[in-house]
């Protein structure tokens, strides 16, 4: 399986990813073949990486994959971004990248549509805009999707069903209220619950805004408001870690299970102490790596974004563009006490 092989192979280097920065910063790989016009040859390829927020280990890991791919193909990357996940805070970075005439922006969008004016201005200036992780479907050139919304929702619901015993109250602790990715996953979860699990009641969707403290406080509030709660599902790496930390030292430990999408390194202690039975994710490093190879293919004309277009993404192998200019990384993967020590990211 692509995910497993790669994740294990990457394990040696991954602990360095856990360092966090709290203020907007710029990081990057050294310039290769500098040019001040948008380039198409790999040597001219300049990529601005714009995650939802900085200081989030998930994006530290996807950026690491982008930098590795950029090094392989001789492209240049620069990571910029806001400290807090908000669409308006991302606009200025898109505008700056446009003025700098970079070749492409790799964007995890904090809102489906709010970034589209600045995205369209970037495109008009010759900049390719490729979303990864969280989409802006009406304006980007290509979306690199970690897994289908239905696939992610199915795994989240399966874990909630298993950990609740198939009935009773569950709550969702999400990221920001406008996040394209979490909202798509939550909609698909609601449909799955309604169709297949009528005995499970989703009592609340709370928003921790991908901030540790807010997610921690929202967890306390969910537990207080819903004394019969059985499972908190947090489809965000920031939210699940904060929820598990709160529950692990509260009376709810052992009564309310925490699950969702997390990184193995964030969740390891909570799996070992029994707060978390099982959670899921894909490999964010692979997502970043694939994104840069897709950008290269778009920039050099190997693909246009049309369904059926094919390109090769280095060590990950061959990919085909699907419907709606989307490239799919693969399926989510479940982590539990039996396998978590095989992963280090
Ligand atoms: C957080 C972000 C990101 C999401 C992961 C699961 O890091 O919200 O967009 O994909 O969680």
User: Is there a contact between 280 and 334 (Cβ–Cβ < 8 Å)?
Assistant: yes
236 lines ligand 1 (CB under 6 A): yes
Residue spans of beta strands (DSSP E) within the chain: 27-28, 46-50, 76-79, 104-107, 128-132, 142-145, 168-174, 200-207, 229-234, 257-260, 278-281, 310-312, 318-320, 326-328, 333-336
**Cβ burial 48-59 (10 Å sphere, 16+ → b, else e):** bbbbbbbbbbbb
131 lines ligand 1 (CB under 6 A): no
Based on C-alpha coordinates, what's the Rg of the chain? 20
Q: Which of 272, 193, 252, 261 is nearest to 233 (CA)?
A: 261
Q: What is the pLDDT of residues 197-253, one digit of tens each?
A: 999 999 999 999 999 999 999 999 999 999 999 999 999 999 999 999 999 999 999
User: Is there a contact between 120 and 96 (Cβ–Cβ < 8 Å)?
Assistant: no
What pLDDT does residue 285 have?
97
What pLDDT does residue 264 have?
97
Please name the residue whose Cα sits nearest to atom 10 of ligand 1.
Answer: 133
Please name the residue whose Cα sits nearest to atom 4 of ligand 1.
Answer: 236
Q: Cα–chain-centroid distance for residue 184?
A: 13
Rounded to whole angstroms, how far apart are CA atoms 200 and 343? 32
DSSP 12: G
User: Is there a contact between 133 and 181 (Cβ–Cβ < 8 Å)?
Assistant: yes
Q: Relative to the CA of 261, which ligand 1 atom is closest? A: 6
> Residue 81 — left, alpha, or beta (φ > 0 → left; ψ -120 to 50 → alpha)?
left
What pLDDT does residue 22 have?
28
Please name the residue whose Cα sits nearest to atom 2 of ligand 1.
Answer: 236
Local structure of 76: helix, strand or coil: strand
Q: How far is the CA of 286 from the centre of ligand 1 (A)?
A: 14
The DSSP string of 204-260 is EEEE-TT-HHHHHHHHHHHHHH-TTEEEEEE-SHHHHHHHHHHHHTSTTTTTSEEEE
Residue 29 burial (C-beta neighbours within 10 Å; 0-12, 13-18, 19+): middle
Rounded to whole angstroms, how far apart are CA atoms 99 and 301? 23
Residue to mutate (ligand 1; options 18, 131, 207, 238; most atoms within 8 A of CB):
238
Residue to mutate (ligand 1; options 87, 133, 143, 183; most atoms within 8 A of CB):
133
- The neighbour count for residue 195, using CB atoms within 10 Å, is 8
Show pLDDT as tens, one digit a residue, over the chain (345 residues). 344 333 333 333 333 333 332 233 345 554 433 333 344 445 589 999 999 999 999 999 999 999 999 999 999 999 999 999 999 999 999 999 999 999 999 999 999 999 999 999 999 999 999 999 999 999 999 999 999 999 999 999 999 999 999 999 999 999 999 999 999 999 999 999 999 999 999 999 999 999 999 999 999 999 999 999 999 999 999 999 999 999 999 999 999 999 999 999 999 999 999 999 999 999 999 999 999 999 999 999 999 999 999 999 999 999 999 999 999 999 999 999 999 999 999
Q: Relative to the CA of 284, which ligand 1 atom is closest? A: 10
**HSE-up of residue 126 (Cα within 13 Å, Cβ side):** 12
Please state the pTM of the whole predicted model.
0.89
> Residue 245 — left, alpha, or beta (φ > 0 → left; ψ -120 to 50 → alpha)?
alpha
What pLDDT does residue 61 have?
97
155 lines ligand 1 (CB under 6 A): no
Q: How far is the CA of 39 from the centre of ligand 1 (A)?
A: 30
Q: What is the pLDDT of residues 136-151, one digit of tens each?
A: 999 999 999 999 999 9
What pLDDT does residue 33 have?
35
With vertex at residue 280, the alpha carbon angle to CA 274 and CA 282, rounded to the nearest 5 degrees, is 145
Give CA torsion, residues 264, 267, 273, 275, to 10 deg.
Answer: -130
What pLDDT does residue 6 have?
38
Give strand pairing partners of 328: 145
What pLDDT does residue 9 have?
33
Q: Relative to the CA of 235, which ligand 1 atom is closest? A: 6
What pLDDT does residue 43 have?
58
DSSP 146: S
326 lines ligand 1 (CB under 6 A): no
175 lines ligand 1 (CB under 6 A): yes
183 lines ligand 1 (CB under 6 A): no
Please name the residue whose Cα sits nearest to atom 3 of ligand 1.
Answer: 236
With vertex at residue 317, the alpha carbon angle to CA 56 and CA 334, rounded to the nearest 5 degrees, is 45
């Amino acid at each position: 399986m692509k995910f497993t092989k790669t994740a294990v192979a990457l394990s040696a280097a991954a602990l360095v990813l856990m360092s966090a920065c709290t203020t907007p910063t710029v990081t990057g790989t050294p310039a290769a073949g500098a040019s001040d016009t948008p380039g198409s040859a790999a040597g001219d390829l300049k990529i601005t990486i714009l995650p939802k927020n900085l200081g989030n280990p998930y994006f530290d890991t996807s950026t690491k994959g982008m930098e590795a791919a950029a090094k392989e193909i001789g492209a240049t990357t620069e990571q910029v971004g806001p400290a807090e996940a908000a669409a308006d805070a991302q606009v200025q970075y898109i505008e700056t990248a446009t003025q700098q005439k970079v070749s492409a922006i790799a964007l995890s969008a904090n809102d489906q549509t709010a970034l589209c004016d600045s995205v369209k201005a970037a495109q008009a200036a010759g900049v390719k805009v490729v979303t990864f992780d969280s989409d802006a479907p009406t304006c980007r050139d290509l979306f690199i999707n970690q897994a289908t919304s239905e696939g992610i929702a199915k795994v989240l619901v399966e874990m909630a069903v298993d950990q609740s015993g198939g009935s009773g109250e569950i709550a969702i602790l999400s990221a920001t209220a406008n996040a394209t990715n979490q909202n798509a996953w939550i909609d698909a979860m609601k449909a799955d619950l309604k169709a297949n699990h009528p005995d499970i009641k989703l009592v609340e969707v709370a928003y921790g805004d991908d901030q540790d403290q807010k997610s921690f406080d929202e967890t306390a509030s969910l537990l207080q408001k819903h004394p019969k709660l059985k499972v908190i599902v947090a489809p965000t790496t920031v939210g699940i870690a904060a929820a598990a930390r709160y529950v692990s030292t509260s009376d709810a430990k052992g009564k309310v299970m925490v699950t969702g999408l997390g990184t193995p390194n964030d969740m390891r202690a909570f799996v070992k102490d029994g707060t978390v039975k099982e959670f899921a994710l894909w490999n964010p490093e692979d997502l970043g790596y694939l994104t840069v190879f897709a950008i290269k293919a778009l920039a050099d004309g190997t693909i246009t974004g049309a369904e059926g277009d094919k390109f090769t993404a280095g060590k990950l192998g061959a990919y085909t563009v699907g419907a709606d200019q989307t490239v799919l990384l693969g399926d989510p993967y479940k982590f539990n006490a039996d396998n978590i020590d095989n992963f280090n990211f």
